[in-house]
Amino acid sequence: MLSFFGKYKFFGLTLLALSAIIVYLFYNALQPPIKLPVYQPSMVNPELVDSSVQFKKKYHAVADFSLVNQNGETVTEKDYENKIYIADFFFTTCPTICPIMTQNMADIQERLVNDDEVLLLSHSVTPEIDSVAQLKKYAMEKGVNDTKWNLVTGDKKQIYELARKSYMVVKTDGDGGPFDMIHTENFVLVDKKRQVRGYYDGTKTEDMDKLMEDLAVLKASYKE
């Protein structure tokens, strides 16, 4: 009896291994694919959405824009065409959350430096202070890769409207006037159709890990 089992031991182990692989493959095949939500204004906390778009339930996308980056170059939505990108709002003189956010964005830049499918976009919320020269100085201090990451300044009303109506990240009302000031820790994941696919706290390491996980899911969806 022992000689019989010894003779077929290898065959049995091989069969067991193959069975385990087959069960694993069937299990994965039956699992629904992971998909990220497409955020519409009606899905987001109403406090974060401008009232003019608050009840919109479909077809929401980031609006066209024209701003200026750290090199004095005009940056528009065309520069992000057919790209996934991560957006945020900051200002160079911010002493609180912005340094943490910028460092986290720099870490993301490093992780994605060779990934041509993903870009970064940071909007200044104090464009009257953050001139092109100021942004360039800040970019050099923070190790910004000009081919990967745009720090943009420009018309304040346009930037604030983008934050409130397009990216839906601001809890305060305002018109982008001289006394209007926004401050948000949100990083926003945007897909190739300029649709919002995720929100993350730019000051938290665990949220940055979640962002990278979601980015992988989004990238994989374009290969299906």
Q: What is the pLDDT of residue 55?
A: 86
Element (DSSP H or E) covering residue 199: strand 196-201
Q: Average pLDDT of 175-196? A: 94
pLDDT above 50 for 67: yes
Q: Name the binding residues.
A: 94, 98, 183
Residue whose token pair is 């824009």:
65
**Residues 144 and 106 sit within 8 Å (Cβ to Cβ):** yes
Q: What is the DSSP string of 40-101?
A: -GGGS-GGGS-TTTTT--S---PPP-EEE-TTS-EEEGGGGTT-EEEEEEE-TT--SHHHHH
Q: Residue 99 pLDDT more than 90?
A: yes
| Residue bearing the bigger pLDDT, 113 or 11 | 113
Return d(Cα 97, Cα 10) in angstroms, integer.
Answer: 60
Among 180, 204, 199, CA closest to 188: 199
pLDDT tier at 24, thresholds 50, 70, 90: very low
In the predicted structure, residue 20 carries a pLDDT above the cut 70: no
pLDDT over 80 (residue 26): no
pLDDT at 27 over 70: no
Could you give the percent of the chain with pLDDT greater than 70?
A: 85
The structure tokens listed for 122 are 């940071």
pLDDT reading at 205 higher than 90? yes
DSSP 118: E
52 touches 165 (CB < 8 A): yes
Indicate the pLDDT class of residue 76, thresholds 50, 70 and 90. Answer: very high
What is residue 174's predicted lDDT score, i.e. its pLDDT? 86
Over 60: is that where the pLDDT of 15 sits?
no
For residues 136 and 72, give the distance between their C-alpha atoms in angstroms, rounded to a whole number. 9
- Predicted local confidence at residue 17, as pLDDT: 55
Is the separation of the CB atoms in 202 and 104 below 8 Å?
yes
Instruction: Provide the annotated binding site for Cu cation.
Output: 94, 98, 183
**What is residue 3's predicted lDDT score, i.e. its pLDDT?**
58
Integer Cα distance of 107 and 61 in angstroms: 27
Question: If residue 190 lies in a helix (H) or strand (E), which one and from where to where?
Answer: strand 186-190
pLDDT in tens, 115-157: 999 999 999 999 999 999 999 999 999 999 999 999 999 999 9
pTM exceeding the 0.75 threshold for the entire prediction = yes
Average predicted confidence (pLDDT) for the chain: 89
Instruction: Take residue 75 and report the two structure tokens written for it.
Output: 């940056």
